[in-house]
Each structure stands twice: as structure tokens, then as C-alpha cells.
């Protein structure tokens, strides 16, 4: 057996080992983006000894999901302690499961060699690598979705029910996905066993009824209306444009071009492309009507399914042309790590590796505040920057900055403005220029935090 053949046969193990090494080597990275809320909720379960499933306010944002991942973290913390390294390690089983299910899916229509190429692409995919490093629950979402698709193809009823139910409990975004997949396999593919997916819909409805009994709302949290408001026509068209842009991000445009060329030549949509189409429609269908900001991580499953679909689309090319297409796609994947939109447009910081620069910049801000005896309560900072150290660093400290409002102009003595917050506000920019002055800039790569201090004239006015 040659070395290349050995690598092909053991691709899942080898790529899983590489991912494990990457995750373990990043165990000192603080909690990032939306995982802050999950860690905070897990800590709440520890404090209350799992007595209350829903926190009912108390500084927590309830999105209506069953708190599956926070409970998973809480159990690990209960057994091994509330540790940052443990939070990172918690994602390893889901990463390995994702890669295994992806390999199983690939082998349905790709050779061992092309399956290896797909798994190699996962090693340079910015969104997947970043989400793994930040132990995002979206990795679990992709794992359960791929598992569900494989169980449908294998006609494994019990596993179909289990995978789809866990998927729906993890995040309500799974509901349109399950419904669309169910309709396709039952009425198009004539696979009656796909009806087993309906059990997950029943489980979701049951959970929503329980949630309504406890919180008095099904889907729209009265305390968080700006993220669950149903938009009008103009808003939906804007979201459709946003979904289209995210669909093309992270080199995905290259994959879609080759897939479109293949389909136009074959005059039909084969199964690898149908999977990709169904998942894309389900994600877009959930995102378009709602005011919730559209995140690139919602498209992670789309990005992952595009990899085998891309390889299938170039399989009929000569080896030289196939290698060239693969190289171009890989180049776009790597390059997308460094593409940053202007400040007034949101960036997918949790899906690219440039965000790793943030943690050093935030540490410089913390050190400056401490060394100059500035009270954290006097500093207003946006999303991510304001995070309490108890859940950001998980080190026992309770330092937390005041929250910088997205709509009102704070009057704190200091304001920490950063592009990592994705809360660019032209009015705030003018406000800072008129009423504050810059005292320190912390910059690394494309990430910055600018610390402003209120000027004396403004202090006299507000007194």
C-alpha cells in the first residue's frame, strides 16, 4: 500500500487528528461571539444546580430554542470544572462527527481520492476552522444535519428520528430544513420511510408548547422584538440580497459556478446538487422574513455541502483541469480569510481567522484600563468588547464594561469603539468627534479598539 493510498483510506482519522491538534492548541483563546451567551447560561445551570431550564430574564436572552448545547456544556463543567480549556475541547466530538458524516456522504458519489480532497478542503475553510476554534454550537448543527441526511439514505428509522430531533432541539432554524427534506424525499423520491422525520417536528412543537407554558410566547420574545420581527416587503428584499451575498462568501462563488456549468451541461440536477439546493432554500426561507441579522454561520452547512458538490462537478474533467479548478477554489478559500468589508457593513468575525487578532487588542485595552485606574463601569463598549471576564476569560474575575447602546448616545466618561462589534453608526461617529477625544488606539491587523474620553466642555453641559 502506497502512502497516498493509506492517506485516502484513513482520511477521516488524519483530518480529525489535525483538527484536534488545532483546537487543543487554541484552548487559551477567550470565549467569542455568541458562545458567550451559551457559556453564561451553562454557568447559570451550575449555580442553580439545574433547577430551572429557562432563566426567564435575569440578563439572559431567550431565543426559544431548547438549550441543548448549554446543557451539554453545563454537564461537562459539573464533572470537570468551569474551565476555558474544557469549553474548547467540548467541540471535538462534534467536529469529528461532522467530518465522519461528511466522508460517509461523499463516498455515496465520490471515489476515495476525491473524498480525501473534500476533507482537505475542510482544513482550509475559514468558516469551519474558525467555528471549530470558537467551539460554536453551529458545528453541532452541521453534524446533526449531515447525520440526518445519511440516515435517510441508509433508511435507518431510529437514527433518522434521533438525528433530526436533536437537530431541531438544538436550533429552531432546523425546522424548515427538516420539513423541506421530508417533503422532497416523501413526494419526489417516493421514500415513505422519510415520514419518520415528522417525529422531530412533533418534538419541536411539543417543546414550543412547553416553552409557551413557561414564558407565554412561542416564537417572538417580547423582550427581543428587534431580532424576531416579521419584515415587510422591502425588508425581505434586503434580506434576500443579504442571503445572496453570504451564499457567495468564502469562495463559495467558485463552487457554485462549476456546479452551474455542470448542471447546464447535464441538463439535470443530480443528488449532490439537490442536497445543496434543499439546504440553501431552507436557510434562506428562515432568514428572509425576520429582522434578525443574517450571520454567515447560518450558511455553514451550505458551505460544507458545497465541497462534495464542487468535487462532483469537476470529476469529469481531465486530471490537469480538475487540479487547476481545485487550486482556484482552494485559493479563494484561503484568500477569503483576509477580505474585510468597510466598517459600515457587518463582517463575519466568527467565521474568519482575522478575528484571532482581537484577543490581543482586547487584552491591551484591559491592561490600559487597569494601569490607569479607570473604572470598568466608566467605559462603554459594544458587543463582544463589554463581555464580563467571568464568562469571557472564565477566570473568576467579574470585570465588565458598560454596554454601548446601538441606538442611544452613551454619556460614559470613556467609550471603547471597535469594528469587532459590527455596530457602525454614523451618528455615533459624529457624536464622538464633537464630544470626545481619542486617547489611545489598539490595533492589530484589521482589528482595532479606539478608546475615547469625554471632553471637559461636554461634562460641564451634562452636569
Residue ranges of the alpha helices (H) in 109-192? 112-123, 126-133, 138-154, 157-170, 174-183
Contact 12/100 with Cβ under 8 angstroms? yes
**362 lies in some domain:** yes
What pTM, to 2 d.p., does this model score? 0.95
> CA–CA separation, 12 vs 17, rounded Å?
8
Q: C-alpha distances in angstroms, 384 versus 31, 36, 267, 345, 453?
A: 9, 8, 48, 17, 20
Any residues with CB less than 8 A from the CB of 265 and at least 6 apart, and which?
A: none
Flag whether 262 is in a domain. Answer: no
Buried b (16+ CB within 10 A) or exposed e, 277-290: bbbbebbbebbbeb
| Domain assignment of residue 308, yes or no | no
Contacts of 58-64 spanning 24+ positions with Cβ under 8 A: 61/37, 61/221, 61/223, 61/224, 62/215, 62/221, 62/223, 62/224, 63/172, 63/221, 63/224, 63/227, 63/228, 64/172, 64/208, 64/211, 64/217, 64/218, 64/219, 64/221
Asked if the structure places residue 222 within a domain, the reply is: no
pLDDT in tens, 307-321: 999 999 999 899 999
pLDDT of residue 291: 86
Cα 128 from chain centroid?
A: 9
Q: If residue 452 lies in a helix (H) or strand (E), which one and from where to where?
A: strand 447-454
CA-based nearest residue to 150, from 206, 109, 105 = 105
**Residue 213: CA count within 13 A, CB half-sphere:** 7
What are the DSSP calls for 155-171, one per residue? Answer: T-HHHHHHHHHHHHHH-
In a domain, 205, yes or no: no
Count of structural domains within the chain: 1
CA distance 141 to 65: 13
Residue 229 DSSP class: P
Q: Tell me the per-residue pLDDT of 413-424, one tens digit each, with 9 for 90 and over.
A: 999 999 999 888
- Residue-range definition of the domain harbouring residue 364: 352-462
Q: Is residue 386 part of a domain?
A: yes
Asked whether 433 and 409 are in contact (CB, 8 A), the reply is no
Residue 255 lies in a domain: no
Q: Which of 180, 124, 149 is nearest to 272 (CA)?
A: 149
d(CA 330, CA 436): 45
In DSSP terms, 436 is beta-bridged to 454
Tell whether 421 is covered by a domain. yes
The pLDDT of residue 93 is 98
How high is the pLDDT of residue 459? 52
Low-confidence ranges of the chain (pLDDT < 50): 463
Instruction: Please report which residue ranges of 155-299 form alpha helices under DSSP H.
Output: 157-170, 174-183, 198-215, 233-248, 252-266, 271-287
Tell me the pairing of strands 414-418 and 379-381. Answer: parallel
**pLDDT value, residue 130:** 97
Amino acid at each position: 500500500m502506497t502512502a497516498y493510498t493509506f492517506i485516502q483510506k484513513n482520511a477521516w482519522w488524519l483530518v480529525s487528528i489535525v483538527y484536534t491538534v488545532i483546537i487543543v492548541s487554541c484552548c487559551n483563546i477567550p470565549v467569542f461571539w455568541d458562545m458567550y451567551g451559551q457559556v453564561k447560561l451553562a454557568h447559570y445551570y451550575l449555580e442553580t444546580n439545574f433547577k430551572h431550564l429557562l432563566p426567564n430574564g435575569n440578563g439572559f436572552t431567550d431565543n426559544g430554542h431548547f438549550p441543548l448545547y448549554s446543557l451539554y456544556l453545563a454537564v461537562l463543567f459539573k464533572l470537570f470544572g468551569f474551565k476555558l480549556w474544557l469549553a474548547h475541547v467540548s467541540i471535538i466530538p462534534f467536529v469529528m462527527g461532522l467530518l465522519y458524516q461528511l466522508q460517509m456522504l461523499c463516498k455515496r458519489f465520490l471515489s476515495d481520492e476525491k473524498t480525501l480532497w473534500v476533507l482537505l478542503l475542510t482544513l482550509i475553510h475559514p468558516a469551519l476552522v474558525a467555528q471549530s476554534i470558537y467551539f460554536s454550537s453551529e458545528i453541532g448543527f452541521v453534524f446533526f444535519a449531515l447525520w440526518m441526511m445519511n440516515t435517510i439514505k441508509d433508511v435507518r428509522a431510529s437514527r433518522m428520528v434521533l438525528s433530526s430531533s436533536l437537530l431541531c432541539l438544538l436550533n429552531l432554524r432546523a425546522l424548515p430544513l427538516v420539513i423541506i427534506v421530508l417533503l422532497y424525499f416523501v413526494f419526489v423520491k417516493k421514500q415513505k420511510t422519510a415520514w419518520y422525520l415528522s417525529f422531530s417536528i412533533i418534538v419541536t412543537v411539543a417543546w414550543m408548547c412547553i416553552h409557551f407554558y413557561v414564558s407565554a410566547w412561542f416564537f417572538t420574545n417580547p423582550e427581543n422584538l428587534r431580532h424576531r420581527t416579521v419584515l415587510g416587503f422591502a425588508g425581505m428584499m434586503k434580506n434576500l440580497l443579504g442571503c445572496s451575498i453570504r451564499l457567495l462568501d468564502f469562495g463559495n462563488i467558485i463552487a457554485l459556478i462549476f456546479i452551474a456549468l455542470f448542471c447546464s451541461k447535464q441538463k439535470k440536477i443530480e443528488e449532490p446538487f439537490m442536497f445543496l439546493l434543499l439546504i440553501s432554500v431552507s436557510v434562506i426561507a428562515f432568514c428572509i422574513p425576520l429582522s434578525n441579522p443574517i450571520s454567515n454561520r447560518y450558511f455553514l452547512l451550505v458551505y460544507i455541502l458545497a465541497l462534495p458538490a464542487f468535487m462532483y462537478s469537476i470529476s469529469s474533467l481531465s486530471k490537469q483541469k480538475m487540479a487547476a479548478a481545485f487550486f482556484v477554489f482552494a485559493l479563494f478559500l484561503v484568500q477569503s480569510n483576509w477580505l474585510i468589508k468597510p466598517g459600515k457593513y457587518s463582517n463575519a468575525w466568527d467565521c474568519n481567522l482575522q478575528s484571532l487578532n482581537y484577543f490581543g487588542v482586547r487584552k491591551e485595552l484591559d491592561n490600559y484600563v487597569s494601569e490607569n485606574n479607570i473604572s470598568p463601569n466608566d467605559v462603554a463598549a459594544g458587543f463582544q468588547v463589554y463581555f464580563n471576564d467571568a464568562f469571557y476569560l472564565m477566570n473568576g474575575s467579574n470585570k465588565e464594561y458598560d454596554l454601548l447602546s446601538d441606538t442611544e448616545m452613551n454619556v460614559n466618561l470613556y467609550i471603547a469603539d471597535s469594528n469587532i462589534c459590527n455596530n457602525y453608526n454614523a451618528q455615533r461617529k459624529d457624536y464622538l468627534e464633537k464630544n470626545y477625544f481619542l486617547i489611545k488606539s489598539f490595533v492589530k491587523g484589521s482589528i482595532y479598539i479606539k478608546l475615547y474620553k469625554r471632553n471637559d466642555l461636554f461634562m460641564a453641559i451634562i452636569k
